[in-house]
Amino acid sequence: MNLPEHYLKAVMVPLMASVLAFMFPFANAQQCNAPSNDKQLKVEKYVISKYKLSSLADVILTEAKQANDACFWLLKFEASSPKREIAVYLSPDGNYLTPELNDTRIDPQIEENRIRKQNADSLLVGISPEVGRKDAPVTIALFSDFECPYCKRFAEMLEKDYLPQEKNHIRLLFKNYPLPMHPWAMAAAEMAECVTLQKPEEFWKV
């Protein structure tokens, strides 16, 4: 069937344009420019004031990258007093900050499950001292400080009450987490880590 020319122009051309726009939503995406050094410094000063940090000298910009196709910019700062990491998103016009971005194109439950799985998988990366079966249905990543009395109490509870009974159902991974208020915790963690890198099974003797 031959369609009239005026029909092609009035209906088919706009229809094809809509299809192409749907298929290639980012074809005409805005080119995103990185915030200037002056703008990043302004954000840094705002973060110091907002989060009640000590001074500019105690804050380091560790990462600056485009966050999404809408030209929001992710800026990550590391503060030393008190020690913490702060991530903020800068709006495209450079005037507004937000601590998180929610993309309405993504199901929040699916995204939450993805992040949870990503975090869980990251705990299994690298060499860690462990007890229990590798195929155990439950894996516990234990972050502990050798000088922490509460960590000691929890370790004794695990050793006495749980691991003997659940050794076939639990896989326990040990992760060093020395706290800054404990004077010899870091040295103990470094020693344990050196042993682990050479012979993971010797960690428990140390």
Please choose, from the candidates 28, 145, 47, the residue with its C-alpha nearest in 3D space to the C-alpha of residue 90: 47
**pLDDT (tens digit, 9 = 90+) per residue, 66-84?**
999 999 999 999 988 777 8
Of 10-19, 43-52, 112-121, 188-197, the least confident: 10-19
For residue 30, the model assigns a pLDDT of 59
What is the chain's alpha carbon radius of gyration, rounded to the nearest angstrom? 26
- Give the pLDDT mean for 103-108: 90
- pTM across the whole model: 0.55
Q: How many other C-beta atoms are found inside a 10 Å radius of the C-beta of residue 59?
A: 20
- Looking at the chain, the whole-number percentage of residues with pLDDT higher than 90 is 40
Question: Measured on CA atoms in the order 87, 66, 64, 124, is the torsion positive or negative?
Answer: positive
